[in-house]
């Protein structure tokens, strides 16, 4: 019975190590996807977010509907926690539009199940470059401006 538990612990350790290596390669710049591809833009956007390079991340947003940098950072709500795993799942291209689906995963400890979720980033070409227009976990769109009541006379 002890051998069974030892083998199980070894398998879990190898899986965690493999996930850590994949994350490091994908989010730290090694194994970079092409910069001129939708998936490459999403990868660099996430790398900038994780590296706290918010100006760089902001540059990957499409100018149409993009708010000020200050609003972007406040909407971002980044608390400094890093996802344990980021994996590219799918890319759909249609002319000058693209959808990039990414899976984010977090291990909750050796005895608990991993939590994961998908996010789909919408991109559109702007001046020949792919830019993020919406969606994703970082909500790169601007919140609506509060409307002020009309003055009464």
Beta bridge partners of 94: 97
Low-confidence ranges of the chain (pLDDT < 50): 4-28, 80
What local confidence, expressed as pLDDT, does residue 93 receive? 96
Closest CA to 105 of 7, 4, 5, 18: 18
Q: How far is Cα of residue 133 from the mean position of the Cα atoms in its chain?
A: 13
Report d(CA 1, CA 63) in Å as an integer.
61
Beta bridge partners of 106: 115
DSSP state of 151: P
Beta bridge partners of 130: 125
Structure tokens at 140: 């790169």
CB neighbour burial string for 91-122, b if at least 16 within 10 angstroms, e if fewer: beeeeeebebbbebeebeeeeeeeeeeebebb
What local confidence, expressed as pLDDT, does residue 115 receive? 80
> For residues 92 and 98, is the Cβ–Cβ distance under 8 A?
yes
Report d(CA 129, CA 135) in Å as an integer.
18
Helices (H), the chain: 2-27, 38-50, 54-59, 69-76
What local confidence, expressed as pLDDT, does residue 1 receive? 57
How much is the pTM? 0.68
């Amino acid at each position: 019975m002890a051998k069974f538990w030892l083998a199980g612990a070894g398998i879990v350790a190898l899986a965690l190590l493999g996930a850590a290596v994949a994350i490091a390669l994908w989010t730290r710049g090694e194994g970079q996807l092409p910069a001129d591809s939708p998936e490459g833009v999403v990868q660099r956007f996430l790398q900038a977010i994780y590296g706290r390079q918010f100006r760089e991340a902001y540059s990957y947003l499409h100018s149409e509907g993009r708010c000020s940098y200050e609003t972007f950072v406040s909407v971002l709500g980044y608390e400094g926690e890093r996802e344990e795993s980021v994996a590219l799942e799918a890319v759909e291209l249609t002319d000058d539009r693209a959808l990039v689906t990414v899976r984010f995963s977090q291990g909750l400890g050796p005895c608990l199940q991993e939590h994961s979720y998908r996010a789909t980033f919408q991109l559109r070409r702007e001046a020949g470059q792919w830019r993020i227009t919406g969606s994703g976990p970082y909500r790169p769109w601007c919140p609506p401006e509060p409307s002020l009541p009309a003055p009464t006379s």
